[in-house]
Structures are given as C-alpha cells and as structure tokens.
Amino acid sequence: MNPVSEVRDFFTAALVKPVPRDHSETPEQLVQRRWVSAVTLAIASFLMAWTLRISPGDPAIYAATLALGTTWVVGALMSGRLYLGAANPRRSDRVSRAIIQSLLIGLLLVALFLAAAVVVAAFPTLRDPLLGLMIHARMGILPLIVGLLFLNAVAAELFFRGGLYAATGGQHAVLITTFVFALSTVSTGMPTLVVGAAVLGAVVGLQRRVTGGVLAPIVTHVTWLTGMVLLLPSALTIWG
C-alpha cells in the first residue's frame, strides 16, 4: 500500500471526482430557486447586521441567532428539493454518504485553521477582533450559544450548498457560493473571518460538487466548528 497514492486517492474521491447523478431542473425551477435565494440573502443580511449591533450579554443575541438560522433553513426548503448526496466508493460498489470522508476533511481544516491562528496570535490587530467575537459566548449561556452556533452551521449549509448552489445552475457554482458565503461575513469588519469563510466555503463547495448533496458539507462544517469552539481561544492566546 503506497501512502502517497492513498492520500491522493482520498482527496480525489472527496474533493475532485463527481459522483454520477441526475439533478437536472426546469427553467421554472431555477427561476424559483434564484428568487427565493435572493430574498433569503436580503433578509439574512439584515439579521446579521442586527446581530452585530447587539451588545455582549444582551439576551437579544439568542433571538437574533435563532432568527438567522431559521432564515437559512426556510430559504433552503422553499427554494426546491435538497439532496443528501453520496460518496465515491473506494473499496466496493456500495453507495455511502461520505460521513467518514467529511469527518477527516473537517479535522484537516481544524488543524489548518489552528496553525493559522497561532500565526495570527502574534499580531494583535488581527487577533483582538477574533477574541472580541467570543465575548458573547463568555457573557451568555454557553450551552445555548454553542447550540445556536451548530444550528446555524447546519442551516448555512442547507442554504449555501443546498438552495443557492442549485440556483446557480452552472459550472461556477463552487466559485459563486464560496464568494457569496465569504461576502456574508464582510459586515463583521474582520479580514481574517472573511478569508476563513472563503477557505471553508471552497472546501465544502467542492464536497457539494462531488457528492451532489448537503450532508458532506454539513458534517465537515460541524466538525470544523467543534474544533474552533473548543480550541481556537487557546490558539489565539498561545503567546500570552
């Protein structure tokens, strides 16, 4: 067994080679997806702006975060049919849901982001805004905040890699959804968060292209988020 070949085959199966499927849609269905996606993005942009204006410790943060997640879910479901997707079989012809692949991709992203955080920690102008973003969690009900974060991770994937991805109806769906996903974080005023969203969005976008569904992106996003919630504060304060 050649380790290099195994690694190459893994990334090819997880991020490069699309699984055969037929998800064709009529022009009317595409129009519906695009209108619903546009309205959803408009409402979500307003909710994100509201959330960013909420002071740390204000209970309104719970309602705002829940409203944002609900908006993503409703927009995804109203846009049209969503698919779970399937993995490329590597050891047999049996169809699987790419859960193990996605967990591994998520863990690799955690390692990459933590390494980047150690570098960012050396620059207060980049580090301090990210630490400030965690104030809500420290001053709020931690289990509730974490639960809402996970809800929003799942909801965001249902919309961006579900409804919005299908709404593009073209070969540039990964690029478009990654751009819009990153753009949705610009209002935070944190370049590091925008870059992070672009990297995460590109990876889960490739997973969506390969698997044809939202399950793999959801598993990867939730795995990545778990690592960030548990380990990012320590990585950002590693230099004291």
Tokens 């988020």 -> residue: 225
Contact partners, residue 39, CB within 8 Å, separation at least 6? 75
Residues of the chain below pLDDT 50: none
- Contact present, 86 and 210 (Cβ < 8 Å): no
Q: Is 141 left (phi over 0), alpha (psi -120 to 50) or beta?
A: beta
Cβ neighbours of 57 (radius 10 Å): 12
Contact partners, residue 70, CB within 8 Å, separation at least 6? 155
Domain ranges of the chain: 23-236
pLDDT at 52: 80
**C-alpha span between 204 and 216 (Å, rounded):** 7
CA dihedral 80, 35, 65, 215 (to 10 degrees): 30
Q: What is the pLDDT of residues 195-209, one digit of tens each?
A: 999 999 999 999 999
pLDDT at 132: 81
Q: What angle do CA 54, 57, 60 make, to 5 degrees?
A: 50
Please report, in angstroms and rounded to a whole number, the separation of the first and last CA atoms in the chain.
44
Q: What is the pTM of this model?
A: 0.94
pLDDT at 129: 87
